[in-house]
């Protein structure tokens, strides 16, 4: 079977919950959720994930496009202009004449909206992980990047956004700020977090409140924080847990170190794995909650101790999905609610007496002073810092080829110093590189896979490019002597590329398995002369056979329990080493036995976690999520010994080796080369 039994069971559970939670469910009971509001669709918009109102303008995003509309007459928005090509759009905020738009794996976009009829792209920023939530306070931007926390950036010049720091959290989905304090919807940990961000370079969590559901979006008014929740409740009763976490919770945050829950309301039980997001907007006596498949709800909060649901709206059924169109976000105008329908478009919901424009409260933003501190040389590592973040690195002789995001592909000569000798800017940000002989393969996001010849002077000459419509190429592994490369595209797709004719590469195979697909999960080796490998986070190692006339999926290495998204695999002497549940195992090519039944080796007192790399008798495990590096002696693979474990400020990717020394791509911290001593 293609997936392990646990994953299959999980899928069936999801199917059952989806059916019971939405596909056959009737409209909401008005006795419980208030009167049902009518609505009408705005023409010209198909698929919308978020909306924002500023004055007499309505801004909407969805399916890679920003729309600007005139709402001088709130019930009849009039299209003014639009801009496409923005990737997997998710949230937006407008500050002055700039729209800041998150786009998940496609990072953060800045758009000039000073001319409503002609929005113009200003710049793009390469985020450390999936850019999901966004807030801007003064010259400081806060980007919720899920499991990587909140990335804090300098947006004083939208043409050149700069990384300042990253605040580590459980799973930051959305965030909002006021007066130097940042509030975060912490997803699976079910928490409302409060962080002190007066110094954006040194943020710190100072308080938290427990939510009875997964945390996501919210808002502030006065001393109160309104937090929308979903998915699972905190109860230990299994029957009352699954899908019962949906609601609105109100906290008193006058003392930010100890948020106090004041009250809340519960929304209908529902559980869907896709489009699972929720948020709240408050104005006047009412708070409007967007709860995706459940629709939107209007809650009277004139007495915050006794909130009452007074109205709701469910968007139309999407026949192809046999479910209600989920509401991605809401915005408010006088007597009107605007609802973002993720699949079908933008809707106007007349709500006389229930909606009014959000009043922007005074905000004293963080002070972004120039950094005056001098960073002392690291005693353990030489450091090279390009202007972008270093995603990946591969070594060829004394040259390190690094994918440096917006700073392009860089060749760095290794030695007593790290000296850049060549920079090449492709058509898109450089996310990942793979080198075989005199050919370099570059994953260039929306600009596809680029194939370059490496000249004697290290200059790159493009010989071919593979574009995959609707997909951004994030990783590539093209091991010699294969004529095939494996690509990671978007958030959950694998492609096998045939570059027998490098001038005209083509797709030979597409595959998608359970769950998202995080970074550094491709293995840059051809096993047994025929198998390429990708390490899926739920399905485990997956083998693709490119040795015959037809390229095909060969099988998985299943397990009785899920693999972790934090772990991965690497090549070791022609076999595959995988990290799983704190230990590692070594698999033969196309291994299809259950992983937990194979020998596993660990270090006493140490939980191994991250993406492994092997250099000689040394195993290095890097965790971009935890920002840790574990160095293990595997001279005796069955009795590994921990040599060192340390944390770094950056986000370390898969380690490479040069003359027995670690070479670590560490995101915005730069490229780190272990010192000789």
* Same domain, residue pair 480 and 559: yes
* Same domain, residue pair 309 and 389: no
Q: What is the pLDDT of residues 588-627, one digit of tens each?
A: 999 999 999 999 999 999 999 999 999 999 999 999 989 9
* Same domain, residue pair 324 and 388: no
Question: Any residues with CB less than 8 A from the CB of 550 and at least 6 apart, and which?
Answer: none
Within a domain: residue 427? yes
Question: Any residues with CB less than 8 A from the CB of 313 and at least 6 apart, and which?
Answer: 36, 37, 38, 39, 295, 296, 337, 339, 349
Kindly report the CATH number assigned to the domain that includes residue 639: 2.130.10.10
Q: 3-class DSSP state for residue 410?
A: strand
Which residue among 330, 350, 370 closes a domain? 350
Return d(Cα 364, Cα 357) in angstroms, integer.
21
Instruction: Show the tokens assigned to 205.
Output: 């969590």
* Same domain, residue pair 465 and 341: no
Q: Is 275 exposed, middle or buried (0-12, 13-18, 19+ CB in 10 A)?
A: middle
Question: What percent of the chain has a predicted confidence (pLDDT) above 90?
Answer: 85
Within a domain: residue 2? no
Which residue among 350, 372, 399 closes a domain? 350
What is the distance in angstroms between the CA of the first residue and the CA of the last residue of the chain? Answer: 50
* Same domain, residue pair 413 and 492: yes
The count of domains in the chain is 2
Within a domain: residue 570? yes
Closest CA to 532 of 492, 566, 561, 498: 498
Average pLDDT over residues 474-499: 92
**Residue 294 in this model has a pLDDT that exceeds 50:** yes
Within a domain: residue 15? no
Average pLDDT over residues 169-187: 97
Q: What is the pLDDT of residues 70-82, one digit of tens each?
A: 999 999 999 999 9
Average pLDDT over residues 655-675: 97
Query: Which residue reads 């398995």 in tokens?
Result: 513
* Same domain, residue pair 345 and 473: no
Q: What string of H, E and C letters represents the secondary structure of 336-389? A: EEEEEECCCEEEEEECCCCCCCCCCCCCCCCCCCCCCCCCCCCCCEEEECCCCC
Q: What is the pLDDT of residues 446-481, one digit of tens each?
A: 899 999 999 999 999 999 999 999 888 999 999 988
Q: What is the pLDDT of residues 340-361, one digit of tens each?
A: 999 999 999 999 999 999 999 9
Q: What is the pLDDT of residues 40-49, one digit of tens each?
A: 999 999 899 9
**pLDDT interval class at 291 (50, 70, 90):** very high
Question: Any residues with CB less than 8 A from the CB of 338 and at least 6 apart, and which?
Answer: 51, 53, 58, 60, 77, 330, 331, 332, 346, 347, 348, 349
Return d(Cα 234, Cα 110) in angstroms, integer.
38
* Same domain, residue pair 174 and 315: yes
Return d(Cα 86, Cα 634) in angstroms, integer.
45
Which residue among 328, 350, 372 closes a domain? 350
* Same domain, residue pair 447 and 331: no
Mean pLDDT, the chain, rounded, equals 93
* Same domain, residue pair 250 and 190: yes
Return d(Cα 475, Cα 328) in angstroms, integer.
29
Q: What is the pLDDT of residues 108-150, one digit of tens each?
A: 999 999 999 999 999 999 999 999 999 999 999 999 999 999 9
Q: What is the pLDDT of residue 524?
A: 95
Within a domain: residue 231? yes
Within a domain: residue 12? no
* Same domain, residue pair 116 and 173: yes
Q: What is the pLDDT of residue 240?
A: 81
Within a domain: residue 357? no
* Same domain, residue pair 443 and 323: no
**Residue 516 in this model has a pLDDT that exceeds 80:** no
Residue 95 structural domain: 28-350
Return d(Cα 669, Cα 650) in angstroms, integer.
5
* Same domain, residue pair 431 and 500: yes
Within a domain: residue 318? yes
Q: What is the pLDDT of residue 470?
A: 84
**pLDDT interval class at 514 (50, 70, 90):** confident
């Amino acid at each position: 079977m293609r997936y392990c039994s646990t994953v299959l069971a999980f899928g069936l559970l999801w199917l059952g919950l989806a059916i019971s939670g939405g596909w056959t469910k009737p409209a909401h009971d008005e006795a419980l959720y208030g009167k049902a509001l009518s609505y009408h669709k705005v023409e010209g918009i198909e698929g919308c994930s978020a909306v924002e109102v500023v004055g007499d303008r309505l801004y909407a995003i969805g399916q890679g496009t920003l729309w600007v509309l005139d709402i001088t007459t709130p019930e009849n928005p009039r299209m003014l202009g639009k801009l496409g090509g923005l990737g997997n759009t998710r949230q937006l905020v407008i500050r002055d004449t700039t729209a800041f738009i998150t786009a998940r794996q496609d990072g953060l976009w800045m758009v000039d909206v000073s001319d409503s009829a002609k929005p113009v792209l200003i710049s793009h920023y390469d985020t450390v992980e999936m850019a999901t939530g966004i807030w801007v306070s003064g010259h400081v931007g806060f980007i919720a990047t899920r499991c990587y926390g909140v990335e804090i950036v300098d947006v004083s010049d939208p043409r050149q956004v700069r990384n300042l720091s990253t605040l580590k959290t459980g799973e930051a989905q959305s965030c909002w700020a006021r007066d130097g304090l940042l509030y975060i919807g912490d997803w699976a940990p079910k928490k409302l977090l409060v962080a002190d961000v007066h110094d954006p370079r040194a943020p710190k969590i100072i308080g938290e409140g427990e939510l009875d559901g997964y945390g996501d979006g919210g808002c502030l008014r006065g001393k109160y924080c309104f937090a929308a929740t979903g998915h699972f409740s905190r109860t230990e009763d299994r029957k009352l847990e699954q899908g019962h976490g949906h609601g609105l919770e109100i906290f008193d945050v006058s003392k930010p170190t100890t948020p106090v829950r004041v009250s809340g309301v519960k929304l209908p039980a529902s559980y869907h794995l896709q489009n699972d997001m929720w948020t709240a907007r408050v104005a006047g006596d009412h708070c409007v909650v967007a709860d995706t498949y459940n629709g939107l709800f209007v809650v009277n909060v004139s007495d915050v101790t006794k909130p009452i649901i007074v109205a709701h709206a469910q968007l139309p059924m999407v026949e192809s999905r046999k479910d209600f169109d989920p509401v991605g976000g809401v915005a408010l105008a006088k007597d009107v609610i605007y609802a973002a329908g993720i699949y079908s478009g933008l809707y106007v919901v007349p709500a006389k007496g229930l909606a009014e424009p959000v009043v922007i409260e005074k905000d004293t933003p963080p002070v972004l002073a120039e950094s005056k501190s001098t960073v002392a040389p690291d005693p353990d590592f030489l450091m090279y810092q390009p202007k972008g973040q270093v995603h990946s690195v591969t070594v060829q002789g004394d040259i390190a080829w690094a994918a440096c995001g917006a700073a392009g592909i860089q060749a760095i000569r290794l030695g007593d110093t790290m000296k850049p000798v060549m920079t090449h800017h492709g058509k898109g940000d450089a996310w990942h590189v793979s080198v075989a002989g005199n050919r370099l393969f570059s994953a260039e996001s929306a600009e596809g896979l680029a194939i370059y010849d490496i000249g004697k002077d290290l200059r790159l000459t493009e010989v071919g490019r593979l574009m995959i419509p609707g997909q951004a190429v994030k990783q590539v592994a093209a091991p010699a002597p294969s004529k095939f490369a494996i690509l990671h595209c978007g958030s959950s797709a694998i492609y096998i590329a045939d570059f027998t004719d490098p001038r005209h590469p083509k797709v030979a195979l597409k595959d998608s398995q359970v769950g998202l697909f995080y970074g550094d999960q491709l293995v840059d080796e051809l096993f047994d002369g025929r198998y390429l490998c990708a390490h899926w986070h739920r399905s485990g190692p997956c083998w693709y056979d490119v040795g015959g006339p037809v390229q095909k999926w060969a099988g998985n290495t299943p397990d009785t329990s899920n693999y972790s998204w934090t772990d991965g695999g690497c090549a070791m002497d022609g076999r595959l080493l995988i990290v799983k549940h704190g230990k590692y195992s070594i698999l033969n090519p196309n291994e299809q036995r259950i992983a937990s039944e194979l020998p596993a080796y660990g270090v006493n007192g140490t939980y191994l976690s991250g993406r492994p790399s092997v250099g000689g008798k040394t195993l290095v495990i890097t965790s971009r999520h935890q920002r840790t590096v574990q160095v293990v002696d595997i001279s005796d693979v069955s009795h590994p010994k921990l040599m060192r474990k340390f944390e770094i400020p950056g986000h370390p990717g898969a380690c490479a080796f040069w003359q027995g020394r670690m070479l670590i791509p560490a995101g915005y911290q730069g490229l780190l080369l272990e010192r000789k001593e």
